[in-house]
Copies of this chain bind each other. A is one copy, B any other.
């Protein structure tokens, strides 16, 4: 090993075909394939350094983390150390450029950046797709943050997860943007992990969700290859709402929707009615994301901000692949 300190950047992503439910909770193997758009506005920068001693260190947003957080990171680093045949302790310094006000999860960009940095530090030379199978074991959605543009996470079929990996589908360089309307950025009552588990175990809608997500993936890839924005949007909106429908089918039923969520969804439909194509999706939380055409993003943001002045919309363009910022 010739490097002692590497910094990498990875962007967050928003799924258009949702990942919802695990077939293996240890390996983060999903029940269905998913497809996302990587966002340039939200990212994590992570520096990994070789350090003396036996214990890893973890500094997040300038704060030294507690043992529970360090252990999670150490287990993740172990995946790379094992392949590298290296025992060195690592210091991880990570900064999330995902504003709390956006209400987005940062685990996708965080594990993608960490994995990208470790791949370089340990000189493992994993290609991006292989690397995606490693970062998957930190956070499922991190799998997709290895790539920019429209990214597919193929669920795979192998029990060891080696074929549950990401691939870039398209650069998304055809006038695509995404808006984030923060509704509530506080802690959720039900984590996405808990929500997935409850849905998989109790919702009679779940098998149909898995089947439909497979179909939606095929049709959205057609829409992307044809650069058919309207169809892309319609499939995105239908798929996201289906995911939320599975939750109402759970026992007990649950929902991430808040009163303001419903208002925002209504307003998006109104704006669409004005002739501005835009389509919503929601993850396991109350915040709303909207895919739109980049040249109309400012106009749609203005309409939303007029209606929701306390919840300013954030515009994001398309993010690039995870990459190395510096290595020494």
Contact = CB atoms under 8 A, between A and B. Distances in A.
Nearest to A247: B245
Contact residues of A: prevailing secondary structure: helix
Interface stretch (A11-19, A37-45, A206-214, A222-230): A206-214
Nearest to A234: B252
B242 A248 contact: yes
Nearest to A265: B255
A98 interface: no
B259 A263 contact: yes
Band of interface residues on A: 20 to 34
Contact of A208 (B204, B237, B238, B261): B204
Contacts of A260: 259
A99 interface: no
Contacts of A161: none
A262 B204 CA distance: 23
A237 B262 contact: no
Given A205-B208, A208-B208, A212-B204, A237 B257 contact: no
Interface string A58-91: 0000000000000000000000000000000000
Nearest to A251: B238
16 contacts: A204-B211, A205-B208, A205-B209, A205-B249, A237-B252, A241-B248, A241-B255, A242-B253, A244-B248, A245-B246, A245-B247, A245-B248, A248-B248, A255-B265, A259-B259, A262-B262
